Structure 1
Amino acid sequence: MKKIRIPWYFIQRFLGIVMGAVIVAISINTFILPNHIADGGVTGIAIILYYIFQWDVGLAVFILNIPLFILGYKAVGKQLFYWSILGVGIMSVSLRFTQFLEPLTTNTLLAAVFGGVITGIGMGIIFRCRGSLGGTDILAIVLNKKTQMSVGQIILIFDAFIFIAAAVIFNPETAMYAMIYMFIAAKVIDLVQVGLDYNKSVLIVTEKPDAIAAEIIGCVNRGATFFHAEGAFSNTPKKVIYSVINRAQLTQVKEIVHRHDPDAFVSIGDVSEVVGEGFTPWKGH
């Protein structure tokens, strides 16, 4: 009988989404719900329903997502659809089974800040594993195909309505704390997905491209690429050097350029993620 071998990347993706969903649920039960802070998306609606009617948040999240999953089945693709169901299911169950956890703080500002950090870590892990927690993300993808608005704009509009509802039903401070919470969560999501190791891209227009490129490759141990360009003012052909380096190597590269050509034009930019030889290896993502 032939054994079924489950690929390791599939197991990693599964465990990552499960872990991320559990972390988000713990954050909601220990920071958000006890301190009456709203959230965005479907989770935000479920939290408002909990505050008003004492409905179970986990069950509400699951029920509210059902019509969205039905609506978005064809729009989001089978892969994201099934992984989203996993994320929503695990978070709903985790919200139910982590209700016993005591609040970690009764200070609303601290709850918004640290709740944003913990939620951001959980969501970042889920996104890094190419999953989602369904909700308005799916609805936004569906509406994006039928309107001129981007997915981000649609999600922002939904969240704005939820924050306005929280301000009207409760008080403006509730909405303000929710905005702090969402802002911090968004920043932490980016950090988890991309990491702290920001790299730099360097574009060099110089009269000594071969010497500079050779030293970047030989001394800095980074690759360099030539772009063939033409000066708009002089109409003379030029070799433009492009290279991606880490922050620690930036000073060394600038010294190399200045030594060979003090009149060189250098443009330096931030690169949030680099995948390939010499940087982060491909891992099937």
Structure 2
Amino acid sequence: MKKENIITTIKEYSIVTLGVILVAFGIQYFYAPNEIAGGGLSGLALVINNYVPVLSVGTIIFLGNLVLFIISFILIGGDFGFKTIYASFALSLVMDIMEKVFHSYALTTNLFLAVICGTLIIASGLAIAFAINASTGGTDILAKILNKYSTIDIGKSLLFVDLFVVICGGITFGLDKGIFSLIAVVINGLLVDKLIHIIEKKQKEKEIQLENVS
């Protein structure tokens, strides 16, 4: 592998790591302690954890991702698959560290603030990952597949996939929190598309500047 490729790979995985940390932080300090199942495998993991508390949220996410990895390799490709495997393992690890070492807690018990702050942080993390052809695993993989084989934007794909999780969250944690979870999913879907557009625009501007310099 050439030196340039090694540097590029390290840079890409560093960016994925940043996205993972943001997603984990949003879940562990805003969503999970307030029982907001904001879609995705993480939201589904919160529901399962409520019924099977012996399994941590991070562990459930890890087990769920094992099934989805095969699908991502077959339908999307190796580059996305490897980055997603790394991101999903990292997400489970970081979430468990936040939960068991730092004893994560609710930074706010106001559900509205929890939804807004948590979604802003999580959407930023997801957008960072998606922008370099990766994901944090889980239902993000299904959203990526839907995006690849249709004309639906990735954020809207996330919204469609996450509706099932929101319904489960509403049944498990109550209608009020179900409504807040729905709000989180809608905001997340729209915000991810917007952030990806901004990131890609910045990347294109940098490429144009480099071409002009050369």
TM-score range, shorter chain: 0.7 to 0.9
In structure 2, how many angstroms separate the alpha carbons of the residues matched to 1:154 and 1:118?
A: 19
Q: Which has the larger radius of gyration?
A: 1
Q: Distance in 2 between matches of 1:87 and 1:185?
A: 19
Whose helix fraction is larger, Structure 1's or Structure 2's? 2
CA distance in 2, matches of 1:181, 1:282: 36
Give the corresponding residue for 2:78.
78
Q: Larger % of strand: which?
A: 1
Q: Which amino acid is the alignment partner of residue 46 of structure 1?
A: A
Amino acid at match of 1:165: C
Task: Name the residue aligned to 2:41.
Answer: 42
Tell me the equivalent position of 1:219.
none
Pair 1:162 & 2:88 matched: no
Q: Which residue of 1 aligns with 2:31?
A: 32
Using the alignment, how far apart are the partners of 2:50 and 2:139 within structure 1? 20
Q: How many residue pairs end up in the alignment?
A: 204
Alignment partner of 1:189 out of 188, 192, 203? 192
Q: 1:81 to 1:194 in 2, by over 3 A?
A: same
Percent of matched pairs sharing the same residue: 26
Maintained 8 Å contact 2:130/2:196: yes
Alignment of 1:73-222 (within 5 A): 73-99=73-99, 100-140=103-143, 155-195=158-198
Deviation per CA, 1:234-260, whole angstroms, max 9, x where unpaired?
xxxxxxxxxxxxxxxxxxxxxxxxxxx
Alpha-carbon distance in 1 for matches of 2:198, 2:157: 27
Q: Which residue identity does 1:194 align to in structure 2? A: H
Give TM-score, length-normalised by structure 1: 0.62
Q: Which residue of 2 aligns with 1:9?
A: 8
Counterpart position of 1:62: 62
Alpha carbons 2:45, 2:60 under 8 Å: kept: yes
Deviations, residues 76-126 of structure 1 (Å, cap 9, x unaligned): 100000000011011000000011233211111110110011111211221
Distance of aligned partners of 1:120 and 1:150 in 2 relative to their CA distance in 1, 3 Å threshold: closer
Determine the C-alpha separation between the residues in 1 that align with 2:191 and 2:143: 22
Shift of 1:139: 3.5
Q: What is the aligned partner in structure 2 of residue 281 from structure 1?
A: 207
SS, match of residue 84 in structure 1: helix
Residue deviations 1:26-71 (CA, integer Å, cap 9, x gap): 1111000111101212122111112222220111001011111123
Q: CA deviation at 1:16?
A: 0.5
User: TM-score if structure 2 supplies the norm length?
Assistant: 0.81
C-alpha separation in 2, matches of 1:32 and 1:94: 15
CA contact (8 A) 2:35 2:173 kept: no
Of the two structures, which has the highest relative contact order with CA contacts closer than 8 Å and spacing of 6 or more? 2
Counterpart secondary structure, 2:34: coil
* Alpha-carbon distance between aligned partners in 2 of 1:8 and 1:283, rounded to the nearest angstrom: 20
Give the RMSD, CA atoms, in angstroms: 3.0
- Give the secondary-structure state (helix, strand or coil) at the position aligned to 1:37: coil
Find runs of 4+ consecutive structure 1 residues off by over 6 angstroms: none
Structure 1: which 5+ residue stretches go unaligned? 197-271
Distance 1:126-1:188 versus aligned 2 partners, 3 A rule: same
2:20 is aligned to: 21
26-35 or 173-182: bigger deviation: 173-182
Where does structure 2 lack aligned partners over 5 or more consecutive residues? none
Name the amino acid aligned to 2:177: T
